[in-house]
């Protein structure tokens, strides 16, 4: 009996020895490589709108530096610095004593000339005076009327009024000062709506359509975002910079925006359908970009892609992928072409510790 067991042991040892000598492990020959757990997503078209960034300068919708047309002494000032005024509101009155006296004289001359014309007209109707005499008197009356209009215009020039509704700047004149046409009275700006001019590359000109949405921020009001829209783009492109000036309009009911203010402008292009993937799925090697695409058999392959706009952790794929492709999002660092991947199981609660069963013995 003992000799029989020894013989069987020798035979089994010989078989195992020959298997090891040939380098074949039965367990290793039958087991496949373990799939690498990753997180994947399926690429689908989504609504996408990218932005164009630029720096802009705010301008009032209407802006003027107030001056006088004539040189005269300031009689009265009717405003204060920073005051809101309406169109036509008096701002400064200059001395008009001499002009009013001249106007009175001109009006008297006109009245006399008109009376004389009427008298001659009656006589001309009766053919008692020559028609040429009537025509000469008519010319004298018209000259007198023109003189009156001229004097009234001179008086109006000595009353400086607001040409439009807006906010006045700092007052630069005082009563009694000699005001000349070159002297500044104040600035007047209509800031109920503001223009913001900014430059963008000519390649983005197609997105500069009237009504396109624009958003802006400024260091003067941290955390405040202003909303506006494109009004127009300049008719010419700068030949040196290849940039075009775009004007956007912003409502400014709170009067927060001021002329000359610097703004960080974001122009939103029209919404379109695009293939968008998580930005972490894109692997960058030098200037080349690729993603790991999962095939039907679970193996991954490198798909070279061309990336468009990146925003908020998303990347637009212009070329290299199609709708329905399954790509790896998380876990790309441990992949290489041809390896098998599997969707990682979501993290769940940790299992509870096994209860200890007391030994009955």
Question: Using an 8 Å Cβ cutoff, are 175 and 74 in contact?
Answer: yes
CATH number of 96-157: 1.10.287.470
The DSSP code for 360 is -
- Residue by residue, DSSP assigns 41-98 as EE--EEEE--EEEEEEEEEEEEEEEE--SS-EEEEEE---TT-EE-TT-EEEEE--HH
**Quick one: pLDDT at residue 17?**
44
Question: Using an 8 Å Cβ cutoff, are 291 and 243 in contact?
Answer: no
CATH 2.40.30.170 range(s) for the chain read: 53-60+192-271
Of residues 113, 64, 114, 115, the one with CA closest to residue 91: 64
- From its phi and psi, is residue 307 left (phi > 0), alpha (psi between -120 and 50) or beta? beta
Partner residues linked to 11 by β-bridges: none
CATH 1.10.287.470 range(s) for the chain read: 96-157
CA 168/CA 158 separation, integer angstroms: 19
CA torsion angle 329 332 333 337 (round to 10): 180
How confident is the chain (361 residues) per 10-residue block, as mean pLDDT?
Answer: 42 41 46 79 86 92 93 94 94 92 92 91 84 90 94 92 95 93 94 95 85 92 94 92 94 94 89 88 90 90 88 87 91 87 65 43 38
Q: Does the structural domain 36-46+273-343 have CATH classification 2.40.420.20? A: yes
Cα 173 to chain centroid distance, Å, stands at: 38
Question: Using an 8 Å Cβ cutoff, are 52 and 204 in contact?
Answer: yes
CATH 2.40.420.20 range(s) for the chain read: 36-46+273-343
Q: 3-class DSSP state for residue 246?
A: strand
**Quick one: pLDDT at residue 163?**
95
**Quick one: pLDDT at residue 346?**
59
**Quick one: pLDDT at residue 22?**
44
Kindly report the CATH class assigned to 53-60+192-271: mainly beta
């Amino acid at each position: 009996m003992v000799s029989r067991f020894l013989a069987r042991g020798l035979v089994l040892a010989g078989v195992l020895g020959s298997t090891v000598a040939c380098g074949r492990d039965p367990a290793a020959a039958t087991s496949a490589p373990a799939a690498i757990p990753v997180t994947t997503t399926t690429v689908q078209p989504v609504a996408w709108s990218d932005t164009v960034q630029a720096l802009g300068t705010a301008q009032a919708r209407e802006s003027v530096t107030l001056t006088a047309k004539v040189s005269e002494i300031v009689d009265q000032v009717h405003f204060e610095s920073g005051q809101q005024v309406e169109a036509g509101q008096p701002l400064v009155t200059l001395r008009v004593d001499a002009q009013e006296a001249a106007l009175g004289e001109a009006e008297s001359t006109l009245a006399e000339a008109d009376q004389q014309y009427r008298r001659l007209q009656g006589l001309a109707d009766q053919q008692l005076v020559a028609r040429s005499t009537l025509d000469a008197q008519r010319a004298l009356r018209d000259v007198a009327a023109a003189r009156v209009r001229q004097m009234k215009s001179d008086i109006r020039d000595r009353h400086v009024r607001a040409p439009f509704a807006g906010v006045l700047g700092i007052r630069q004149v005082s009563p009694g000062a000699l005001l000349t046409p070159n002297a500044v009275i104040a600035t007047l700006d209509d800031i109920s709506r503001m223009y913001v001019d900014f430059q963008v590359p000519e390649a983005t000109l197609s997105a500069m359509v009237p009504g396109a949405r624009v958003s802006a921020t400024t260091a003067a009001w941290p955390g405040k975002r202003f909303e506006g829209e494109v009004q127009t783009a300049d008719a010419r492109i700068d030949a040196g910079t290849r940039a075009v000036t775009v004007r956007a309009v912003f409502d400014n009911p709170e009067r927060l925006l001021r002329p000359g203010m610097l703004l960080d402008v974001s122009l939103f292009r029209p919404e379109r359908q695009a293939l968008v993937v998580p930005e972490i799925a894109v692997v960058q090697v030098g200037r080349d970009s690729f993603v790991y695409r999962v095939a039907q058999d679970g193996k991954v392959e490198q798909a070279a892609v061309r990336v468009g706009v990146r925003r908020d952790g998303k990347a637009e794929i212009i070329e290299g992928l199609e709708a329905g492709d399954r790509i790896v999002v998380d876990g790309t660092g441990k992949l290489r072409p041809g390896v098998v991947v599997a969707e990682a199981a979501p993290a769940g609660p940790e299992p509870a510790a096994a209860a200890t069963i007391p030994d009955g013995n």
